[in-house]
Amino acid sequence: MATYNGHKNWNHWNVSLWLNNDERQYREMIHFISYAPNKDKAAEMMLVWCKEYLGGVTRDGAPYSKSSIRAAMVGL
């Protein structure tokens, strides 16, 4: 299976890039991880936040999704 910079695809890579490198987004993600009972629920909460405050897409046009956000949370 082909990957994109170690991620499933360009979308997962781009979402991970923004969530892990933009301070505001990273802090929100960490907040949801610490608040939620598990990372799947944290990803759902983060998706709602991304849609409400970021318009649902990264600045590069990649749509936030539960799976791309959950993939960005690996190792946190």
Q: State the chain's mean pLDDT as an integer.
A: 96
Residue 18 lies in a domain: yes
The rounded Cα 60 to chain-centroid distance in angstroms is: 14
pTM of this prediction exceeds 0.75: yes
Instruction: Kindly report, residue by residue over 51-76, the tens digit of the pLDDT.
Output: 999 999 999 999 999 999 999 999 99
Q: Is residue 42 part of a domain?
A: yes
Whether pLDDT at 38 is above 80: yes
In a domain, 31, yes or no: yes
Q: How many domains, the chain? A: 1
Structural domain that includes position 46: 10-72
b/e per residue 36-63 (b: at least 16 CB within 10 A): eeebeebbebbbebbeeebeebbeeebe
The C-alpha atoms of residue 27 and residue 63 are separated, in whole angstroms, by: 19
Asked if residue 5 is part of any domain, the answer here is: no
CB-CB contact of 40 with 70 (8 Å) = yes
